Amino acid sequence: MRHIVYRFFTIGSYEKEEKWLYEMSAKGLQLIAANALRYEFEEGARGEYVYRLELLEHLPSHPESAAYLRFLEETGVGQVASYL
C-alpha cells in the first residue's frame, strides 16, 4: 500500500529530514518518490533502507554531478529523487 505525506523542510534542516526518513523506514514505510513537499512511501520491511541527502555543487545533469551519481550507483547506492 502506498502512503502520501506532505511535509516541508528547509534546505538548512536536511539532517532533520534525514532523521524523519530514517524514522519512517523504521516504521516500515520506504520512500519511493519525493518532491519539494510531497513524499511517497510504500510499505516494506522495517528499517530496510538508510536515507541520505546530498547537496551537489552543480545540477544533476552537470558532468561532475553525473559522474558522482554513476559512482554511487556502481557502489550500490540508489537514488530515489532529485530536485532541480
List, for residues 5-45, the tens digit of each pLDDT value: 999 999 889 999 999 999 999 999 999 999 989 999 999 99
Please compute the mean of the pLDDT values over residues 52-63 and round it to a whole number.
93
Per-residue pLDDT, 11: 87
What cell does 72 get?
554511487
Q: CA end-to-end span of the chain, whole Å?
A: 28
- Specify the pTM: 0.84
DSSP secondary structure string for all residues of 22-63: HHHHHTTEEEEEE-SSEEEEEE-STT---------SS-TTSH
